[in-house]
A and B are shown apart, each in its own frame.
Chain A
Amino acid sequence: MAGHPEGRPTPAPSRGLHGWLDARYQLEGLRGFLAEKSVPVTRHFFLYYFGGVALFLFIIQVLTGILLLLYYRAGSDASFESVRFIVSQVKFGWLVRSIHSWSANLMALSAFLHMFSVYFTRAYRPPRELSWVTGFLLLVLVMGFGFSGYLLPWNELAFFATKVGTDIVGVLPFIGHPLLVLLRGGDEVTGATLSRFFGIHVAVLPGLFTVVLALHLLMIQRQGMAEPVEWERTPGRRMPFFPHFMLRDLLLWVVVLNILAVLAVLFPWGLGQKADAFASAPAGIRPEWYFLFMFQTLKLLPARIAGIEGELLGVLGFGAAGLAWLLVPFFDRGADSGRGRSAMRLIGVAVVVYMIVFTVLGWVLA
């Protein structure tokens, strides 16, 4: 029997499918990677799960989205009718649509929780700046999914939310109007807008999301999960990823699936009234909850602030705040050493309180 050049015996080649694949793709390396991968066990251990939950809900979105595609038709004279057909005629159509809508909301919630848990544990510090950046881009894409998907049933709430949302883009100086026309497929929200949003929702965003998600996950696999700063002095306990953490992850996914099923069954998503481009906006108009804090802020801004239109100032303010949030890892130079912790915490708490208060106000006062 031929020996290993260094004297160790060559492992017997495994048989069957595993052996066949291993001979071609060296699965042993992957197995070694999985065996070594571990997760730091900290006080905030539970926070690690929200990213996985968001990923699970994304998978649900893809699957239910594909099912809805079998019956959905885009067009101002077809969308509302096709969604009504799905929820009233197709067997379990109401359930699939309800799961798609609830899962979208829970995915946005998980993504926000994941982002804030990373923020408050300052897990974005070097060398994980780009994990934060790709994570933020994923959150923006999730909001894009929500915004584009909201219009697809072509009901009046969605119609006006889209009018407002795209008009916000239009107030930007120079690029605003061309961008508005590009998004709407014209000057007004019409069937052309619906076609574009449909394309964006089912082709453009999934493509972009998959690329950014792959980068985000690759970075996490290459670098491992962030450890608390204190661990540089005294390392703490770690848990093997496989199978310990993965099984916990899977268990939580089962729990989330059950929560989703309960919500979808007990609170099925309504369809509302068909959009009419020549009817007044109904009272109680509001966008999805994760846009409410911005919606409410725009509502409260006066028409003019220091000679500038309030809405323009609001939109530019949100743009600047989003950019600052994206660049947090590059601003927070003390994250490495643990300096400036209370200042960053204060900023984070202020942002969370602002978002919660304005979301509640937007909900109550709508």
Chain B
Amino acid sequence: MPSPSRREFLNGLLAVFGLASAGAVLYPVLSFLRPPPSGEANASSVRAATTDEIPPESGKVFRFGSKPGILVHTATGEYRAFSATCTHLDCIVQYRSDLGQIWCACHNGRYDLDGRNVAGPPPRPLEKFRVVIQGKEIIVSREEPSS
């Protein structure tokens, strides 16, 4: 194999230096653009409301860590809680008493009171949370993964 000429060698060296310099600039810039992980931990259990706050056939959006959750007091007196983030395009859903369903105003997506996507564009059901009543306080927590 013929040895590279002086010019070829210098061109190669220049290309390596060029790429290394570009990398030395781009790597810190791209790393800077990626935000550091937020300090807010994913909550596993929160006090979502008190029983006085939500009468039957109404709902309330509450803060579940850094994400919104929705608590629904059904007509039959049950409390149910889900993630309030629509599985379609990330809007925050609400309870519609006239429909008896959870509704997303952005693209008219609907979920039943088990969180199942029943109409409109949402592709997946809402994540369901566990609800425990302690006195007047309604505690919502993530459902334990079933083993």
Tell me whether B12 is interfacial, beta carbon within 8 Å: no
Tell me whether A186 is interfacial, beta carbon within 8 Å: yes
Tell me whether B63 is interfacial, beta carbon within 8 Å: yes
Pick the residue among B38, B89, B105 that contacts A283 (CB under 8 A). Answer: B105
Contact flags A183-225 to B (C-beta < 8 A → 1, else 0): 0011110001000000000000000000000000000000000
Q: Report the minimum CB–CB distance from A156 to chain B (whole Å).
A: 10
Known: A277-B68, A280-B105. Contact between A181 and B89, CB under 8 A?
A: no
- Pick the interface stretch among B49-57, B117-125, B134-142: B117-125
- State A187–B38 Cα separation when bound (angstroms): 9
Contacts of B122 in A (CB 8 A): 303
Known: A298-B121, A299-B121, A309-B123. Contact between A281 and B105, CB under 8 A?
A: yes
Contact between B121 and A164 (Cβ–Cβ < 8 Å)?
no
Q: Report the minimum CB–CB distance from B38 to chain A (whole Å).
A: 6
Contacts of A284 in B (CB 8 A): 105
Pick the residue among B92, B107, B108, B121 that contacts A280 (CB under 8 A). Answer: B92
Pick the residue among B34, B63, B66, B91 that contacts A181 (CB under 8 A). Answer: B34
Q: Report the minimum CB–CB distance from A191 to chain B (whole Å).
A: 11
Contact flags B9-39 to A (C-beta < 8 A → 1, else 0): 0000000000000000000000001110010
**B93-132 CB contacts (< 8 Å) to partner A:** 93-94, 104-108, 117, 120-123
- State A296–B41 Cα separation when bound (angstroms): 36
Contact between A281 and B92 (Cβ–Cβ < 8 Å)?
yes
Known: A181-B34, A309-B123. Contact between A160 and B106, CB under 8 A?
A: yes
Contact between A167 and B90 (Cβ–Cβ < 8 Å)?
yes
Contacts of B47 in A (CB 8 A): none
Contacts of B105 in A (CB 8 A): 160, 280-285
Contact between B94 and A280 (Cβ–Cβ < 8 Å)?
yes
Contacts of A295 in B (CB 8 A): 107
Scoring B33, B68, B88, B104 by chain A CB atoms within 10 A of each residue's CB, the highest score goes to B88
For chain A, the bracket of interface size reads 35 or more
Tell me whether A163 is interfacial, beta carbon within 8 Å: yes
Of chain B, the residue at the smallest CB distance from A163 is: B90
Contacts of B93 in A (CB 8 A): 280-281
Of chain A, the residue at the smallest CB distance from B63 is: A278
Of chain A, the residue at the smallest CB distance from B107 is: A299
Contact between A298 and B90 (Cβ–Cβ < 8 Å)?
no
Known: A188-B66, A311-B123. Contact between A281 and B35, CB under 8 A?
A: no
**A161-181 CB contacts (< 8 Å) to partner B:** 163-164, 166-168, 170, 178, 181
- State A164–B122 Cα separation when bound (angstroms): 13
Contact between B121 and A281 (Cβ–Cβ < 8 Å)?
no
Q: Report the minimum CB–CB distance from B75 to chain A (whole Å).
A: 19
- State A186–B67 Cα separation when bound (angstroms): 12
- State A54–B37 Cα separation when bound (angstroms): 41
Contacts of B121 in A (CB 8 A): 298-303, 310-311
Contact flags B38-75 to A (C-beta < 8 A → 1, else 0): 10000000000000000000000111001110100000
Residues of B within 8 A of A (CB): 33-35, 38, 61-63, 66-68, 70, 84, 88-94, 104-108, 117, 120-123
Residues of A within 8 A of B (CB): 160, 163-164, 166-168, 170, 178, 181-182, 185-188, 192, 277-285, 295, 298-304, 309-311
**Known interface pairs A186-B35, A281-B105, A299-B120; 13 further A-B residue pairs with C-beta atoms within 8 A, sorted by A's residue number:** A160-B106, A163-B91, A164-B107, A182-B34, A185-B35, A192-B35, A278-B61, A278-B63, A280-B94, A280-B105, A285-B105, A295-B107, A303-B88
| 15 A–B contacts, CB within 8 A, in A order | A160-B106, A164-B89, A164-B106, A181-B35, A186-B35, A192-B35, A280-B93, A285-B106, A298-B89, A298-B107, A298-B121, A299-B108, A299-B121, A303-B122, A311-B89
